[in-house]
Amino acid sequence: MDVKKIGETMQEYVNNQEMAGGALFVRQGENILYREKWGAVQFDSIYRMMSMTKCITAAAVMICIERGLIGLDESLSTYIPEFKEMKVMDDKRYVFEPKKLKKIPMMLLTFRMDRVKNKPAKREMTIRDLLSHSSGLQQGLVGLLAMIKEKEQYKTLRDFVLHYTKHSLDFEPGTGTGYSPLAGFDILGYVVSLVSGMEFDEFIQKEICMPLHMKDTTFFLSKEQKKRLVDIYKRKKNRLLKVTGTKDDMAGFMHQKEICFEHGSGGLYSTLDDYANFGEMLLCKGNFRGTQILKPETVELMHTEAPKRHLEPEPGLVWGLGMKIRQNPKKANLPVAEGTYGWSGAFGTHFFISPKDNLEAVFMMNRSDIGGSGSYISAKVEELIFEIWGGNVRED
């Protein structure tokens, strides 16, 4: 397929008001194969990374694990004692069934965490559970209802994290999976701050952003950086409507009126080239242009199935440590190479690494209703990239 197909497809999305602007970076080994932008963005535009923050938080945790500051299979209570005696939901009303999703508005009227029937957890949550979305915290109906109903405004990361100690887990740690939107990785960010003795943002800057030359990646934008921050849109009646600063912006997704602290789950801002540097480090097995950020075996561990038992959040897909892995692309009906891993952000950002193809891609856009990891635009980007450069896919 001709590489021009990418530009034609992206420009069509802009013309149809399906995205206001976008940018794409593709690398194979040391070679930059593609770097282009469309619509109302520049190459130095800054995006809200949302859940692609989780991948950087995971890398921060792995740095601490390498240094012996955190144990992958240690209980969370080793670092935050308040999590020692968690309870697990034992309430028929909140056993997850797809049909109950339609009933959520009614369920919210009567839901209270202190009225959820529960029982003591058989074992404690571990760091591995949190990194691989198998902790049970904020991973089912109880967690979803609590997140939607949350009205408290927290001023510190510690206060935000500790409020989860009052939650019932949706399932026994390590026995289920799904997705923990906020809780898991906000807690992990706080653990990093505790063991390192630094604020989480300071740790990210010192250990990841500076050595990777990620000068525009931060939880807190400067005045100059704010000028380059893209607007956020949503689509209504086939037209894009600007929603910057509304409940559809980052703070609203975090269930906060304003962002007061680092959200390891989704609070980072970054640029196309900054995040591409992070991806390059992973692609090169932890090495960035001569500097070893993570050991090769650590990076491999991040994109290896992580839970102790086989758990598929979706058919053919499994969780590594902070990364979703396409373990069986044919089962998942995805046109990618086996072992491709990465993650997405709620506003349409997306990145992946294909170890088999030695390929990295980072895609940026800015639409709040695109569906995050379910975005049809990022799915199309993946499809086009693998059709053009994914030799292993064509050989199957």
**CA atoms within 13 Å, Cβ hemisphere of 12:** 9
pLDDT 10s digits, 39-60: 999 999 999 999 999 999 999 9
Q: Helix (H, G, I), strand (E, B), or coil: what is residue 233?
A: strand
Q: What is the percentage of the chain residues whose pLDDT exceeds 90?
A: 95
Confidence of residue 396 (pLDDT cuts 50, 70, 90): very low
Contact 78, 71 (CB under 8 A): yes
* pLDDT score, position 17: 98
pLDDT 10s digits, 292-350: 999 999 999 999 999 999 999 999 999 999 999 999 999 999 999 999 999 999 999 99
pLDDT 10s digits, 176-226: 999 999 999 999 999 999 999 999 999 999 999 999 999 999 999 999 999
Rounded to whole angstroms, the Cα distance separating 378 from 359 reads 16
- The 10 Å CB-count burial string (b at 16+, else e) for 216-228 is bbbbeeeeebeeb
Residue of 179, 276, 240 whose CA lies nearest to 366 = 240
Rounded to whole angstroms, the Cα distance separating 236 from 350 reads 23
pLDDT at 394 over 80: no
pLDDT 10s digits, 144-159: 999 999 989 999 999 9
Q: How far is CA 211 from the centre of its chain?
A: 22
* pLDDT score, position 393: 42
* pLDDT score, position 256: 87
Rounded to whole angstroms, the Cα distance separating 59 from 42 reads 27
* pLDDT score, position 391: 77
Tokens of 288: 């960035």
pLDDT 10s digits, 128-146: 999 999 999 999 999 999 9
Ordered by start, the domain boundaries in the chain are 4-49+202-395, 63-196
Q: What CATH class has 4-49+202-395?
A: alpha beta
Confidence of residue 255 (pLDDT cuts 50, 70, 90): confident
Q: Give the H or E element holding residue 13.
A: helix 4-15
Q: Helix (H, G, I), strand (E, B), or coil: what is residue 317?
A: strand
* pLDDT score, position 395: 38
* pLDDT score, position 136: 98
Task: Give every CB contact of residue 106 below 8 A, 6+ residues apart in sequence.
Answer: none
